[in-house]
Amino acid sequence: MELLEWMTRLGHDRVVAVQDEPSGLRAWIAIHQPRFGRTYGGVRVWHYRHESEAVIDALRLSHAMTQKCVLAGIPGGGAKTVVLADHILNRPAAMKALGKHIDALHGVYRAGPDVGFTAEDQQILSETTQWLARFGDGQLRPAGEATAEGAEWAIRAALQHEGLGDLADVSVAIQGLGHVGRPLAERLLKAGVRVYASDLHEEQLKWAEDAGITVVEPSAILSTDADVLVPAALGGVLHDLSIPKLRCQIVAPVANNTLAHEDHAEQLSEKGILYVPDFVMNSGALIEGAGFDAKKQLNWSQELRHIGETTTQVLDLSRRNQITTLQAAQDIAEDLLAKEFAGNQTESSEKLPS
């Protein structure tokens, strides 16, 4: 499918191709729907096989970000930057160049962290653009901690929906102990959860063992016999080969685009596994970053609790209408967007001269 066809299909406003030859920067900035004149989305630095794979990732992620904004009550739309890591020659220079391109959008796009984007990248990028949420710099806490807090409320809601009791009664398997996986594991341990986890980095495994977590081989984590599975690494891990191996009752991903394809939501449902859509439960950092951007407020714990309420709403609609939880979440988001559009149309018509 051609780029413009992808944009039309998903409803994108624009896609910006970015390159800087001296630094080796090659990136795509995808702007989905600039609701209220602004969009939010992270900067992902990743190893893509080719440019088309990168831009499709940007399109899918930014589309999901709009749904995330709508369900989280954020007055803004979705966006995403993807940087082709293998082409970078000078990383600091590449980040400075990227910051200039983001700044040229004059606040339509407000960036944050994503996979592969480091604290050093954040510091350098902020030198050339003001439109960056600076997590963990002494004001906002690390983005992963905010996401983990919101995810905990989503997991609690899913457990209640399935009649599995509270956190202290269950086991959770976490795939990846990175920026979100580790703080989520810490929260779950404090709540009395039996935690299993995998990771590719020795220092994270050492921490996990010291913390009392049962370490599992990465190849076995998806098939771990646990009540809840939390994919917390990269997307696309739930597919035709992995889903039949699952032994959990709930899949609650904090990674983006965990399903390789939307049809896999139906496969999970047929297998009797409750799927909590990632864009419903992983909006904690978005809520804190966008909230600080708008009001300079630091404490958003009450709003993060609402993630659990939204999760319950999605799961209840799925059960009531006999549809997948993914479809339920999308229906709620689209309904909210349609009402917003209708309200804007009415307001515009009322301003026309009679």
Catalytic residues: 80
CA–CA separation, 277 and 68 (whole Å): 10
Q: Are 278 and 258 in contact (CB under 8 A)?
A: yes
DSSP code at position 176: -
Name residues whose C-beta falls within 8 Å of residue 43's C-beta, 6 or more positions apart in sequence. Answer: 81, 83, 98, 111, 112, 113, 114, 117, 121, 125
The distance from CA 93 to its chain's CA centroid, rounded to whole angstroms, is 27
Q: What is the bridge-based pairing of β-strands 25-31 and 14-20? A: antiparallel
Q: What is the phi-psi region of residue 341: left when phi exceeds 0, alpha when psi lies from -120 to 50, beta otherwise?
A: alpha
CA–CA separation, 279 and 61 (whole Å): 10
Q: Are 45 and 83 in contact (CB under 8 A)?
A: yes
Residues recorded for the chain: 354
Backbone angles phi, psi at 48, to 5 degrees: -95, 145
Q: Are 14 and 77 in contact (CB under 8 A)?
A: no
Per the listing, tokens 């993807």 go with 82
Name residues whose C-beta falls within 8 Å of residue 149's C-beta, 6 or more positions apart in sequence. Answer: 187, 284, 301, 304
